[in-house]
Structure 1
Amino acid sequence: MNFTFSDTIAGQVTAYDRQAKTATVSTADGRQFAVSVDGEPSAELMRNLGEPYTDASGQIDAMLTPGRFLFAYGVFYPKGEGQIFDAKRIIFLGRRPGDFRFEESGWWIHQLEEIAAFYRKAQFGDGPVDFSEYRTLLRLGGEKTGSHVQETDTISRLVYGMASAYMLTGDDTYLEVAERGTEYLRSHLRFVDTDEDIVYWYHGLRKDGDIERKLFTSEFSDDYDAIPMYEQIYALAGPIQTYRVTGDPRIKSDADATLRLFDRFFLDREGGGYFSHIDPILFSADHESLGENRARKNWNSVGDHAPAYLINLYLATGDPAYAKFLEYTFDTIVEHFPDDKNSPFVQERFHRDWSHDTTHGWQQNRAVVGHNLKIAWNLMRMNSLKPKAEYSELAAHIGDIMPPIGSDRQRGGWYDVVERARREGEDRYRFVWHDRKAWWQQEQAILAYLILFGTTGQERFRDEARGAESFYNAFFLDHDEGAVYFNVLASGLPYLLGTERFKGSHSMSMYHSSELCYLSAVYNNLLINGKSLDLYFKPDPDGFAGRTLHVSPDLLPPGSIRIASVEIDGEPYQDYDAEALTVHLPEATGRVKVKVKVEATR
């Protein structure tokens, strides 16, 4: 090559020649790069949101020791028949080799606090929490746009994030947002059909001055003029996470009524699984008005129940009916989604009879990398509730097969949408539109590999988890404006064009970034590093059946964690079952604040 180009190298230092000022860096695919630091690059220590820049430029020589993981951004120059890489910026992951700052016990908790503070201020300023002022679209710094359609799912996702922030911090500021958002959803965006004994949720609310117009059907291009299953699913995400904290029986009643909607109108009783859309008049999945969504099933309609709300609903109640529903969805995934004969990626769209739909809309015969990882992550969660060889084997298979085909082995990070089949004579799966990397797909990779390592102990999964955590924390945190970027280029530089510039949109609220923080804190502390974790709840003692508060933070291997101590309203409390992870709440008038310390047992 006789031209220069900028790029990023992620890897482990294997050697450093102080005299030549050149480090040898080994990337995830085993390639060796000579990284020159002769041009006096800047260097820094990885920092969390809300932390100051920590300059390490004067310590480069001392820090380029074998075993240290780093990111180097620089310029490739031609040199003879090869290239030389001149580093311009270096990010060190910790102060010593083998240190990864994101494994500090408070890293993810602090990050979630910062994200919650950003969205609280962006939506409501310093004043009262008034959801009539909520905006779906937020600019890079959190500024509101003129568009004023309040989408149900983005409100719910914000609520989820705030409830999660309360669970990890006990800060009532965040619980107030979660509860007021839940009330707003119930009063403005919920429809109770007393004849059918169901609840369904509007797509959103359009406001023109003092005039409000409820939007019954979706206005999103993929689902226009229909009721998509995933919108109903994500309408429950925030309220159910809030229910885990408060035990408000009205939330559970709404959830059960929405589940009746699913079973009566979306469930395919003959072929199994759930249809992706129903028409708004007859509530039929087979109406011609649905067009290409007629009698279709997809990843969202089958697989999104578990992570969005169903696992959390089970965690809050221990109800075997929810466990049975979970098992049904995962059995369906295991039976129909793998497609090893045609592609290493799962199949995501289906006709009524489970034949593959490879011509649908934008997806065609294409794979969303994050959906594969999401399946692996959630299979391992379910395997802790009901162990099955087919769950753990498929999860491990996805975990092993995905890195070389879905991740960037030179720069770090995970790609977006790729072709499910290779072209003849090619050894890679082509990108569909671009090689950018989205924040939510990094989340799926991190959680998949954290839980795979935490439950199996296989070091190859820890390596992948650390690689994904490293890229996300190095490049997705917006230290200037707050919260996280939507997309970055392959090199890690922020991509700030179009809706991908926004911090709030149809696709982005506070859900994936907060879910990542919450569960990374759970997995890193409890499953992997043998540390404890404080969890906070604020229930009315009579809200939960039998005054029993279930406090397990996630579906984890039986016996892997226990309650170490409990406080109620700041006082030690002894009426709990440490192994069952339940607290028997006291008879009290009004709500109580419960702090539970959960510890690893191994």
Structure 2
Amino acid sequence: MADNQAFTWADTIAGYVVSFDQDTQTIELETSDKRRFNVELDGTSAELLRNLGEPYLDASQHLYDLLVPGRYIIAYGIFYPTSTGNLRYVAKSLQLMGRGKTDYNFEDASWWTRQIDQLASFYRRAQFGQNQGVDYRNYRTELHLGGSKTESHVQETDTISRMVYGMASAYMLTGKDEYLEVAEKGTEYLRDHMRFVDRDNDVVYWYHGTKIEGAVETKLFSSEFSDDYDAIPMYEQIYALAGPIQTFRVTGDKRILDDTEGTIRLFEKFFRDYDGGGYYSHIDPILLSPHHESLTFNKSRKNWNSVGDHAPAYLVNLFLATGEDKYADFLERTFDTIAEHFPDYDNSPFVNERFHQDWSHDLEHTWQQNRAVVGHNLKIAWNLMRMNALRPKESYQELAQKIGDIMPDVGSDRQRGGWYDVVERTLKSDEKDFRFAWHDRKAWWQQEQAILAYLILGGETGKDEYLKQAREAESFYNAFFLDHDEGGVYFNVLATGLPYLLGTERLKGSHSMSMYHSAELCYLAATYTNLLVTKKPLPLYFKPLPEASRTLRVAPDLLPPGSIELQEVEIDGKPYEVFDRKALTIELPESSERLTVRATVVPTNR
């Protein structure tokens, strides 16, 4: 057998500078889990972290001044075996997170706003052309790496909705009307082409999508995605609301609220388990039953998506827009269910995600088996902290912090940075680390969940370790996921951070990707960073219709009571004084025209 030390390989090391010896050109670097590496410099280039749309900024000539103890850097280089049996690591490139040793460029007050501006510009150009009008007949689910369209002509409801969410969020942060136009026209297109109003049952369904062939548009009622084929999955109905509801926050269009309430009636009538709690994951498209044999492996099942995804997809934003107790009750019921049934710490450090009707664990479900999606654990922690701000409970914060404490050791890459995808939930007798289900790649959306989970945990508890985890996750995401050549963000990267560009993971638009998670990250990272971490103002934009409610609610997210307030308001560019600083509400004047509202939210303990 060959000596395994005979191989060289390229790899990434992310960590904190312990020391830098100029004579030997060697950095001593300590990783997140306290391991020490000697990193040699040899023709090594260095750059400062840059945002989308920004030029390369070389720092190679300033390393003697910049490589000071405590600075977090990411090195990419090569491991070489030596004659003594040891390994040498020679860095070929370095990324520095900011100019000062404790500076992180992504904590600049406008970083995430600039990033969402670039994302929105990329997707608008890809779907509708550089200087053309917004016509959703031209929308395509699948986009190539550079934004060009594939030959696929299926328009999926959820991907349109997710892009609409991104555009509405981009408007909220930038105030650019071209993004709101895309959001509003997308919402209208969904209503006209993807919505079915069932008068008999008094509910609203959303088609899986439409197939366009020439001038013929064919409705696809049940899902065509492999896991959900020929069924109506709850998550597709949930995400059909994501974009319209974020648009509703901006415009107050009451038709959106009517559609949403009709869809919630669908959930309550056909998906909800009133006896056992929670919501079923699928119903059959004919009898609208979760128990029909045609559902095969989805018969009488519940999962994370059907129970928990209500909150981040639309329900938190619906409550923020309306302030209605019935939506807060729905949220509370959701998180009580999660806290009761999802933890499984006697058997695994990961929550369980799939269940039978009686909440017994479903460990044989198609691809998931007894496996954990790392991002779902982090998503639960993030959303529990949001809910704890609305209706505080010990069970919410305790579970959120337990997840936050456990996950770095079992779900993150402690050497390179970043968070993994799907892993086995249990160890075999001789194993030290949890095995990957298929690969060690890292998906963009799972980085988002880590960043938001640790930003809100760190911002609300004040614990340095949580903020450290947030910054490390933000560093990896911004260093490797931003596509500076084509625009947008990559779907997956290798463990080292290099882009993985094969198959559907090469695409910038697909069944799984359409600006939603990348935009949600920008919007909420801006919120948590400015209002919880760096204590800076956050300007937000709204454009209510004349028929919208005259009470505009502008709280950016569910944050602890009294932690933020509304500092100032402008309407159509002029100062406006009729607002409630503590309640974060604005009493709008009557108007026959749309109003442009700029609301500046600030932390109270700056």
TM-score, scaled to structure 2: 0.98
Matched, 1:211 2:216: yes
Distance 1:167 1:22 in 2: 46
CA contact (8 A) 1:267 1:274 kept: yes
Structure 2 counterparts to residues 253-268 of structure 1, below 5 A: 253-268=258-273
Corresponding residue to 1:101 among 102, 105, 111: 105
Residue type matched to 1:53 in 2? Y
SS at match of 2:525: helix
Query: Residue 533 in 1 paired to residue 543 in 2?
Result: no
Q: Hey, what does 1:137 align to over in structure 2?
A: 142
Q: 1:528 to 1:541 in 2, by over 3 A?
A: farther
1:54, CA displacement in angstroms? 0.4
- Give the Cα separation in 1 of the matches to 2:565 and 2:482: 33
In structure 1, the partner of 2:330 is 325
User: How far did 1:541 drift?
Assistant: 4.4
Corresponding position: 1:380 with 2:385: yes
Match of 1:33 in 2: 37
- Aligned partner of 1:481 in structure 2 is 486
Q: Which amino acid aligns with 1:153?
A: D
- Name the amino acid aligned to 2:58: D
Q: Deviations over 1:308-334 (max 9, x none)?
A: 000000000000000000000000000
Which residue of structure 2 aligns with residue 245 of structure 1? Answer: 250
CA apart distance, 1:118: 0.1
The equivalent position to 1:234 in structure 2, one of 222, 235, 239, is 239
For residues 463 and 541 of structure 1, what CA distance do their matches in structure 2 show? Answer: 45
Check if 1:552 corresponds to 2:555: yes
The correspondence for 1:11, drawn from 15, 25, 29, is 15
* Aligned CA-pair RMSD: 0.6
Aligned to 1:76: 79
Superposition deviation, residue 542 in structure 1: 3.3
User: Which residue identity is paired with 1:9?
Assistant: I
Could you tell me how far apart the structure 1 residues matched to 2:161 and 2:186 are? Answer: 7
Whole-angstrom distance in 2 between the partners of 1:262 and 1:537: 29
Tell me what 2:524 maps to: 519
| 1:151-178, Cα deviation, whole Å (9 max, x unpaired) | 0000000000000000001100000000
Q: Distance in 1 between matches of 2:43 and 2:98?
A: 20
Which of these residues, 89, 92, 96, is aligned with residue 85 of structure 1? 89
Q: How many residues align?
A: 599
Superimposed CA distance per residue, residues 36-79 of structure 1 (whole angstroms, 9 cap, x where no aligned partner): 00x11111111000000001111122211111110100000112
Q: Which residue of 2 aligns with 1:171?
A: 176
Partner of 1:370: 375
Give the whole-Å Cα distance in 2 for the aligned partners of 1:14 and 1:433: 35
Alpha-carbon distance in 1 for matches of 2:79, 2:127: 43
Partner of 2:470: 465
1:52 corresponding residue in structure 2: 55
SS at match of 2:64: helix
User: Is the deviation greater in 75-84 or in 139-148?
Assistant: 75-84
How is 1:393-472 mapped onto 2 (pairs within 5 angstroms)?
393-472=398-477
- Which residue of the partner structure matches residue 64 of structure 1? 67
Cross-structure match for 1:507: 512
Matches of 1:2 and 1:33 in 2, distance apart? 19
What CA deviation, in whole Å up to 9, does each residue of 1:11-38 have, x standing for no partner?
Answer: 000001100000000001110000000x
CA distance in 2, matches of 1:47, 1:543: 40
Q: Is the 8 A contact 1:541 1:586 kept in 2?
A: no
Q: Matched residue of 2:43: which SS?
A: coil
SS in 2 for 1:91: strand
Query: Which residue does 1:336 correspond to in 2?
Result: 341
SS in structure 2 at match of 1:526: helix
2:19 is matched by which residue type in structure 1?
Answer: A
Partner residue, 2:317: 312
The residue number in structure 2 matching 1:596 is 599
Rounded to whole Å, the distance in 1 between the matches of 2:381 and 2:302 is 20
Specify the alignment match of 1:24 in structure 2: 28
Instruction: Check conservation: 2:253, 2:547, Cα contact below 8 A.
Output: no
Decide whether the 8 Å contact of 1:541 with 1:585 is kept in 2: no
Q: State the identity %.
A: 67
| Deviation by residue 1:181-203 (Cα, 9 ceiling, x = unmatched) | 00000000000001111000000
1:575 aligns with 2:578: yes
Instruction: Show structure 1 runs of 5+ residues with no match.
Output: none
Q: Secondary structure at the match of 1:41?
A: strand
Q: Find the residue that maps to 1:410 and give its secondary structure.
A: coil
- CA–CA distance in 2 between the matches of 1:77 and 1:160? 47
Paired residue type of 2:50: R
Q: Please tell me the residue identity of whatever aligns with 1:516.
A: L
Structure 1 segments, 4+ long, off by >3 Å, are none
Amino acid at match of 2:138: E
In the aligned structure 2, how far is the partner of 1:542 from the partner of 1:216? 33
Per-residue deviation, residues 471-520 of structure 1 (Å, max 9, x unmatched): 00000000000010000000000000000000000000010000000000
Which position in structure 2 is the counterpart of 1:357?
362
2:124 is matched with which residue? 120
Q: Which string of whole-angstrom CA distances, capped at 9 and with x for unpartnered residues, describes residues 118-165 of structure 1? A: 000000002000000000000000000111000000000000000000
Distance (Å, rounded) in 2 between the aligned partners of 1:541 and 1:76: 64
- The correspondence of residues 153-172 of structure 1 with structure 2, limited to 5 A, is 153-172=158-177
Instruction: Classify the secondary structure of the residue corresponding to 1:311.
Output: helix
Matched residue type, 1:72: A
| Counterpart-to-counterpart distance in 2, 1:218 and 1:357 | 22
Provide the residue aligned with 1:151 in structure 2: 156
Deviations 1:266-315 (A, max 9, x none): 00111110000000000000000000000000000000000000000000
Contact 1:245–1:537 under 8 Å retained in 2: yes
2:154 and 2:210 in contact (8 A); partners too: yes
2: CA distance, partners of 1:417 / 1:32: 28
Structure 2 Cα separation of the partners of residues 108 and 269 of structure 1:
41
Residue 43 in structure 1 maps to residue 46 in structure 2: yes
CA contact (8 A) 2:195 2:207 kept: yes
Structure 1 residues 79-99: Cα deviation after superposition (integer angstroms, max 9, x where no partner): 212111000011011111001
Q: CA deviation at 1:590?
A: 2.1
The counterpart of 1:193, out of the listed 186, 198, 223, is 198
- Give the letter for the 2:595 counterpart: V
* Aligned partner letter, 1:6: A
Q: What do residues 434-471 of structure 1 show as CA deviations (whole Å, max 9, x unaligned)?
A: 00000000000000000001110000100000000000
The gaps in structure 2 that reach 5 residues or longer are none
The alpha-carbon deviation at position 554 of structure 1 amounts to: 0.2
CA distance in 2, matches of 1:233, 1:103: 32
> How far apart in 1 are the matches of 2:98 and 2:533?
18
2:297 counterpart (276, 292, 296): 292
Q: Which amino acid aligns with 1:222?
A: D
